[in-house]
Structure 1
Amino acid sequence: MADDGERPIIKKVIKKVEGGAHGGAWKVAYADFVTAMMAFFMLLWLLNVAPPETLSGLADYFKPTSAVIQGGTPGETEGGVIVRIADENTSSAGQDNDDQQGSGTEETDDAEAILEKIKEQEDIAFAQLQEKIRMAIQESAMLQELNDQVIMEITEDGMKIQLIDKDKRAMFRSGSDELYNYARAMIEQVAMTVQDVPNRITIQGHTDGGSFSAGGEYTNWELSADRANSARRVLAVTGVTDDRFSEVIGKASTEPLYPDNPSRLENRRITILVLREAPVVPPNLTLTD
């Protein structure tokens, strides 16, 4: 009966079950996040160092294509979807603009610098040309006293040589395109100098503001043009080839040397302009000292 009086012993066993919040799933999520961030920063770095051509190719790869339907019109819908007719010219032009936008400014700056350097070198050549003409006139016994009838200057258009009339020393006989001998000799000296450069030449004839009429319809316009052509013939005979002449123009009295006094003798003149040649600058041309 003693056994009947013993109480049974009961053990409570508490099993600890780990919840989801305390598992290892968060580590996987964190690793994915770190990997994604690393890939993102790698993408930013690649975009920063990639050349414009590569970026343009990537942009073209991801650019959505437009549907084209025969006989359709822009903005037409088909099955609830807006269909746009692609314009190949517009698309290609837009793509070219995008491709060139990044490097366009830099290339423009380089081209301007190259052209500026070419202009400086051309100015030096023009200055040397001026000095040769001055020396040739001073060394000639016939032309020494005509030194004040030659005006030379370097302009944006090129080197301008103006042979002007002076009192009792006109270059042409009155009312004609016949040159006096000393005027012919002066043009020949100019020709012997400019024939050494490849630049093209424009010749202009000018008269004063006085009215002129040789009868009929022959006016200052015809006279100035004939005098310019007379100067061209002297240049050609002296050695300037025909392909060098760009224009031979008669200006009459429209561009006086002295606008405030259009009747002055100095307004009657011949202008020989040695033109600047605008070279085509290749894209790979670089400046050298």
Structure 2
Amino acid sequence: MQPIIVKKVKKHGHAHHGGAWKIAYADFVTAMMAFFLLMWLISMTTQEQKIGLAEYFAPAALSPSNSGAGGILHGRALDSSGNKPATPSEAETGSAERKPGASSTSPDRARDLDASRSAASEEADFSAVASLRQALQKMPEYAELSRNIVFETTKEGVNVSLVDQDGRSMFREGSVDPYDRTRRVLEALAPALRRLPNRLSITGYTAAARPGSSNAGEPWNLTAGRALSVREILSGAGVPNDNFASVVGRGDTEPVFPDNPYIAPNRRVTITLLNARSPVPANFLR
């Protein structure tokens, strides 16, 4: 009789992989959360706040200038006559190099002031554009007229242009009389313009007459008359007369498209919200 052989197969469990991947994944998720939080904070802060944060985290040991001031020579070079550093009184008061009537504002400080003013001006311009857009979005026909209303920020301020398009004009042809839709746009803008501190400059432009066509009107009188019409509508809607800095007609001398000065978008009236200018020059500040 043959012996009965029983084979037993031992089942081995899977090897333990450990939890290191979980820790790495948690670190990755935490880093991504911190990154998106940082992006959100950057988008929500103003330029001045960004500058303040940068200065706060700057290493305290670094000097903001490379003049060498604060050392044993108090920023002075060795004189040709020998090792003669500045005396304490000169180093402390600066009397050896400051002339009577000279400004104590350094070029770096003047540049910082200019940059601060520029950042504040840009922020004010963006705020003004947002206020004006919000005022227009309350109009039922704003979506239809959106291509006729152009916002642009420039060095002078914010431009709000009422622009003619093919098939849709803001003024009657050859006339200073605006269409009713143009009047409604201006009346919608007036409350926001009245609240903003900017003075207004209104400028009219027109397209050049095509060669051989009959001129619809004298371009200088036409553009000046349209600019005056815009000023009168805004004034009638509550914008004080003191808010207007100038009303000008440019004729057909400044087309938007110089390569094609005959097309409709060259006909426009631009309301410029002028940036406030500093009454004191930057290099005069002490």
| Range into which the TM-score falls when normalised by the shorter chain | 0.5 to 0.7
Cα distance, 1:209 vs. partner?
0.7
Greater percentage in helix? 1
Partner of 2:266: 267
The one-character-per-residue Cα deviations of 1:53-95 (angstroms, maximum 9, x if unpaired) are x4479xxxxxxxxxxxxxxxxxxxxxxxxxxxxxxxxxxxxx6
Q: 2-side partners of 1:125 and 1:220: how far apart?
A: 34
Q: Which residue of 1 aligns with 2:88?
A: 46
5+ unaligned residues in a row in structure 1: which ranges? 1-39, 58-94
Name 2:8's counterpart in structure 1. Answer: none
2:176 alignment partner AA: D
In the TM superposition, what are the counterparts of 1:56-75 in structure 2 within 5 Å?
A: none
Q: Does 2:254 align with 1:252?
A: no
Cα RMSD, aligned residues only:
2.8
Equivalent in the alignment of 1:141: 140
Amino acid at match of 2:277: A
1:237-280 Cα deviation digits (max 9, x unpaired): 12221111111110011111111110110110001111111113
> 1:175 aligned to 2:217?
no
Larger radius of gyration: 1
1:41 deviates by: 8.8
Structure 2 CA distance for aligned equivalents of residues 257 and 207 of structure 1: 10
- Aligned equivalents of 2:242, 2:251: Cα separation in 1: 25
SS where residue 255 of structure 1 aligns?
coil
1:151 — aligned with what? 150
Quick one: which amino acid aligns to residue 102 of structure 2? Q
Deviates more, 1:269-278 or 1:140-149: 140-149
Partners of 1:201 and 1:272 lie apart in 2 by: 7
CA-to-partner distance for each residue in 1:119-171, whole Å, 9 max, x for gaps?
21221122122122223323311332001111111111111111101122211
The count of corresponding residues between Structure 1 and Structure 2 is 201
Tell me how far apart the structure 2 counterparts of residues 277 and 252 of structure 1 sit (CA, whole Å): 27
Give aligned-pair identity as a percent.
Answer: 30
Q: TM-score scaled to structure 1, two decimals? A: 0.62
Pairing of 1:1-289 with structure 2 (within 5 A)? 44-46=86-88, 48-52=90-94, 54-55=95-96, 96=100, 100=102, 103-104=104-105, 106=106, 108-210=107-209, 213=215, 219-281=218-280
Which deviations, in whole Å up to 9, do the C-alpha atoms of 1:180-218 show, x marking residues without a partner?
A: 11001112222222211111111000010116656xxx6
Would you say the 8 A contact 2:136–2:189 is kept in 1? no
Q: Helix, strand or coil for the counterpart of 2:120?
A: helix
Distance 1:178 1:206 in 2: 15
The alignment partner of 1:146 has SS state of helix
Contact 2:90 2:96 in 1 (8 A): no
| Structure 1 residues 43 and 120: CA distance shift in structure 2, 3 A | closer
Q: Which residue number in structure 2 is paired with residue 20 of structure 1? A: none
Going from structure 1 to structure 2, the CA distance change for 1:269 and 1:50 (only over 3 Å counts) comes to same
